[in-house]
Structure 1
Amino acid sequence: MTEKKKKKLIDSRILWLIISLLVSFLSWIYITRTQTTTVTREFTDVEVVFEGREAIRELKSFVITDISQKTVSVKLSGNWDNVGSLHSSDIKAVIDVSKLTSIGNNTVPFTLKYKKAVNPDEISLISSYPRTIQFYVDKLLEKPIEVKGAFTGNAEEGYIVGNLAFNPGTINISGPEKQVKLIDHAWVIVDGQNLSREKRADLSFTLRDSEGRDLPVGEVTFDSDTVSITVPISKKKEVPLDLIITPGGGALRDNCKISILPEKITIAGDAALVDGINKIELANIDLSSFVSTYDANLPIILPNGVENVSGEKDAKIEIEILGLGSKGFSVSNLSYINLPGSFSSANIVSRSLDVTIRGKQEILDKIAANNLRAVADLNNITSTGEIYVTAKIYVDGFADVGAVGEYKLIVNIRK
C-alpha cells in the first residue's frame, strides 16, 4: 500500500469518527432535554366529558342538562415527552356522574384524562378555567307529540290546497323533564308555488309550545328526525244542485216550479273525478207522493273523494205543482191479481177506498167514480189472514191524470 493511500484511509476514519461523536452529542442533548427539561403549556377548548352519562340514563332515568361549560382551558407542566407533544384534542376534562343519586344542581371539579400515551403522573395541572363545572340532573321524561304544520305557497288558479297529511302523525320525544314538559307539538313548514298536483316532501321540524313559540332542542331526542308531508292539491268546480223528478199522479217535471237553495256549490277533488261531475242530484222525488206542494231540507251528499268547498251541508227544496187540479173520489171497484199458488183464495175486506186524482181541471170534471178501480197485487204475499196490500189506482178512459198518495186494501188470504 502506498503512503498516499494510507494517508487517505486515515483521513476517512477520522471524518467518520467526528460525525459519530457529533451525532452522539446531539442525541444526548435531545434525550437530556426531553427527559429533564420542564415545559409549561396552555391548552384551550379541552372537551368536557361526563363519564357514566349513558349508564344513569338507562338505570336511573337521569339526564344531564344545563351544562355551564362544554370546554375548559388548562395550563399543564411536565417534561417535553409528556407535555410538549400534546394537543387539546388529546385531553379530556372528565366528570364521573355514575354515582349520582338525586335530581338537582351540581358543581364539581373535573379530572384530566389523556388519549395519547403519556405518563399522567409526570404532568402537573398549574391552573384551569373554570375550575369546576356546573350542571343539572333532571328526570328523564318521554312522551308523544302531535305533528302540525302549514303550507306557505299557493295553488294554481282553479285548484285548491287540501288538509296537510303527516307521516308519522306523532313523534316520540325524550329528554329532561323540565324541557319536555314545555313541548306541545312538532311544527313543519312546506312551500310550493302554483301547484296543480299533489306535493310530497321529507322535512325537518321545529319544536313548539302550546302558544306556538319555537323552543330550543336542548337535550331532547326524537325517534324521527324528519317528517314526510303531503300537500293535497284538488281541482275545484262550481256545480248546480238538482233533483231527480219521477212523474206521477198526472204531473210531469214541466208542471213543477222547483226552488233549491243554494242553487250551486263549489266542489273539489281529483281532476279526473271533478271533470266528470256536472251536477249534484239531491234526491229522487216522486210527484205522486204529494198533491200541490212539497218542501224539505235534504243533505248534500257527494261522491267519495269529492269535497264540498262551499261548506253547506244541506239544501232547502220547494216544489209547487202548477196548472193542475185535484179531485177526491170514493172507489168501490176493488180487486186483486197474482195470488200465489200456495194459497187457496183471497177476499177483499175493504168496501171502498177514498182516493185523490190529479190532472187538468177540465179532465177531472169529466171523470166519474165508476171510471176508477183499485187493484191489489198479491204476488209477494207470504202469510194468511187479513193483511194490508198496496193497491194501484187506475183511471179508465182518461190519460194524463193519476192518483196522488199511497193506497192499501185489506185482503183476507186463505191457505
Structure 2
Amino acid sequence: MGKKIRESKILYIFLSVLISIALWFYVTSLDGNEDTITIGNIPVTFSGVEALEQRGLMIVDDAPRVSVRISASPMVLARLDNQSLQATVDVSQISEAAQYTLAYTVSLPAGVSANQVQFVSGQVGNVSFTVARYASRPIEIQGQFTGTAAEGYLPGSADDFVFSPTTLTVSGQAELVEQISHALVTVDGEELTQSINGDFPYEFIDANGEPLGELDVEVDSQTVHVSFPIYATAEIPLEVTLVAGGGASTANASYTLSEDTILVAGSSQAVAAIQEEGALTIAAIDLATVQDGDELQLNIPLADELTNISGFTEVTVTIHLEGELATRTIETDNIEVINCPQGWSARVLTRVLSVEIRGDPELVDAVIEENVLVSVDLSQVHEAAGQYSMAATVYLNSVGTVDQIGVMNRGYEVVVELSRA
C-alpha cells in the first residue's frame, strides 16, 4: 500500500513540473518576453534554375549557407531552425558562365508571420557562386578482358563485348563532360570455360587513354550489363566428297588438300556438334568435271555459330585419277527438244555439238555417234519469240557403267529458236 502511494507522489511531481514549464512558455509568449538566437547553416536555394538550363548553363558549386540572428518569443523560436528558414537567390536573369555575387533573402516558414519575428541581422545579404556551361551527351562503352580462358577455350575479342545500355548519358559541367573519351568496363576471371554475363562498374577514360578518376557529373546508369563470350575450340579434319562420273570411279580417284584441318571456335554446343560429325565436308566434286592433276580452289563453309580462327579461308584440292583413261571428242547432230510450251514450236539452230567422253580405252574407242544423245529441256524457257541459248544434257548409250565410261561435264549449250506454232 505504501509503495503505491510513493509511486503516485512521483507521478504527481513529474506532471506538476511539466505543466509548470508549459505555463511558463505560454505566459512568456503573452507578456512580450523575447529571446535572441543565431541560426546558422541555412542552405541557399536558387530560384530560376530552369531558365539557366534552357540557356545551357548550370550552377557548379555546393549550395552556399548563411546565418541569421532572430529575436522572438520562445514559442516562436522553437519553430525556427536551418530547415524551416529558407534563403533564396534569383538566378533567372543570368545569361553566361561566370563567377557571380548576388543578394539573398531569408523567408519565414508558413505559420510564422513577420510581426512575430524581428531579424536582428542576416535577413538579406550576398553570396558568391559559379555558373558554368552545361553539357549532356552519350558516351561510348568499350570493354577489356584481363583474365584467362582454360585450355581448349578462347576468350572473345574487344569487338565481341555486348553492353546494355549501349551508351551512357553523361550530364554536368561541360568542362568535365568534354574530357570523357569513352567508358571502359574491365572483366576478368581465371581458367574460364563459360561466357561472362553480369553487371559491372566502369571508369571514364580521356582521349589519351588515361583514367579520369571521380568526376562530378551525372550518369544515367551506375553499372553496365556485360555479355562476353568464352569460346570452345577444336581442330576439325577437312574432306571432300568424290562423285563417280566421266568414266572415273571413286575407287580409282583420290585427292590431297593444301590444309588437312581447320581450327574453329564457337559455343560449346556448336563445337561439340561439328566434332560429332567427324569432319567438315568442303564440297562434293563430280569426277566428270575434272582431270587428273586438276587443282580446285574451294572456300571453307562454316555454320554461322562457328568462327574460323585458322587464318585461311580457302583450301586447294588436287585431284588424282588412277588407271588408264582415254578421252575422245565426238561430234553429234542427234539433238532433241523436250517440254516445248503449248502453242509454241522450237527449232534447233545448233547443227552439231562436240561432246567429250572419257573412260576405258576400249569402251571409248567403241563409241559411235549414234550412241550420243543431246536433250534440251524447254520447260523453263521464256515464252516469247526469239533465240535462246539453253543448257543441254548429254546421254551416252554404251556398254559399260558410269565408272567405266561417261560424258565429261563441260556445260554444254544449244541455241534454240522459239516461235508461235
Which TM class, normalised by the smaller chain length? 0.7 to 0.9
Question: Matched residues in 2 for 1:365 and 1:192: separation?
Answer: 71
Equivalent in the alignment of 1:402: 406
- Take 1:180 and 1:88, find their aligned partners in 2: how far apart are those partners? 34
State the AA in 2 paired with 1:406.
R
The residue type paired with residue 308 of structure 1 is N
1:390 partnered with 2:393: yes
Structure 2 unaligned runs (5+)? 1-15
2:167 pairs with one of 162, 167, 170:
170
Q: Which amino acid aligns with 1:76?
A: R
Tell me which amino acid in the other structure corresponds to 1:147: I
Is 1:102 equivalent to 2:99 in the alignment? no
- CA drift of 1:207 comes to 3.7
Q: Give 1:318's aligned amino acid.
A: V
Matches within 5 A, 1:87-98: 87-98=81-92
Root-mean-square deviation (CA, aligned residues, Å) is 4.4
Distance 2:268 2:235 in 1: 13
Task: Please tell me the residue identity of whatever aligns with 1:54.
Answer: E
Q: 1:397 to 1:106 in 2, by over 3 A?
A: same
Q: Which residue of 2 aligns with 1:15?
A: none
Which stretch shows the higher mean deviation, 178-187 or 299-308? 178-187
Partners of 1:63 and 1:220 lie apart in 2 by 15
Partner of 2:354: 353
Kindly provide the amino acid, as one letter, of the partner of residue 129 in structure 2: Q
- Identify the residue that residue 127 of structure 2 maps to in structure 1: 132
- Structure 2 distance, partners of 1:241, 1:111, is 85
Return the letter of the residue paired with 1:144: P
Unpaired segments of 5 or more residues in structure 1?
A: 1-18
Residue number in structure 2 paired with 1:182 = 179
What fraction of aligned residue pairs are identical, expressed as a percent?
A: 20
Verify: 1:72 aligned to 2:65, yes or no.
yes
Cα distance in 2 for residues equivalent to 1:332 and 1:354: 6
**Matched residue type, 1:306:** L
| 1:110 and 1:133 in contact (8 A); partners too | no
What's the CA shift string for 1:66-106, capped at 9, x where partnerless?
Answer: 31x44436363534636576544444443221222333332
- Offset at 1:317? 1.0
Picking from 267, 270, 284, the partner of 1:270 is 267
Q: Any conservation in 1 of the 2:60–2:173 contact (CA below 8 Å)?
A: no
Distance 2:86 2:153 in 1: 60
How far is the alpha carbon of 1:325 from its aligned partner? 4.4
Partners of 1:53 and 1:97 within 8 A in 2: yes
State the alpha-carbon separation in 2 of the partners of residues 159 and 115 from structure 1: 68
Contact 1:350 1:411 in 2 (8 A): no
Q: TM-score, normalised by structure 2?
A: 0.71
| 3-state SS in 1 of match to 2:128 | strand
Q: Which has the larger radius of gyration?
A: 1
The alignment partner of 1:50 has SS state of strand
1:141 to 135, 139, 148: 135
Q: 1:73 to 1:297 in 2, by over 3 A?
A: farther
- Per the alignment, residue 5 of structure 1 pairs with none
Deviation at 1:151, TM superposition (A): 4.0
- 1:53 aligned onto 2:49: yes
How far residue 217 of structure 1 moved from its aligned partner, in angstroms, is 4.4
Give the drift of 1:287. Answer: 1.9
- On the 8 A contact 1:43/1:74 being kept in 2, the answer is yes
Deviation at 1:127, TM superposition (A): 11
2-structure distance, mates of 1:77, 1:347 = 117
**Structure 2 CA distance for aligned equivalents of residues 164 and 294 of structure 1:** 44
Equivalence for 1:7: none
Q: Report 1:202-351 matches (<5 A).
A: 202-212=199-209, 213-214=211-212, 216-222=214-220, 224-278=221-275, 279-312=279-312, 314-332=313-331, 335-336=334-335, 339-340=338-339, 350-351=351-352
Equivalent residue of 1:178, what SS?
A: helix
Q: Partner residue of 2:11?
A: none
Query: What secondary structure is seen at the aligned counterpart in 1 of 2:274?
Result: coil
State the AA in 2 paired with 1:392. Y
In 2, the alpha carbon distance for the partners of 1:202 and 1:94 equals 42
Show CA shifts across 1:153-207 (max 9, x none). Answer: 4445434444221222234444443333333333334455555444432445444
Query: Post-superposition shift, 1:113?
Result: 4.1
The question of whether the paired residues in 1 share the 8 Å contact of 2:71 and 2:119 is answered with yes
Q: Secondary structure of the residue that 1:274 maps to in structure 2?
A: helix
Matched residue SS, 1:368: helix
Amino acid paired to 2:318: I
Shift of 1:305: 2.1
CA distance in 2, matches of 1:219, 1:410: 76
C-alpha distance 34-395 of structure 1, shift in aligned 2 (>3 A): farther
| Amino acid corresponding to residue 289 of structure 2 in structure 1 | S
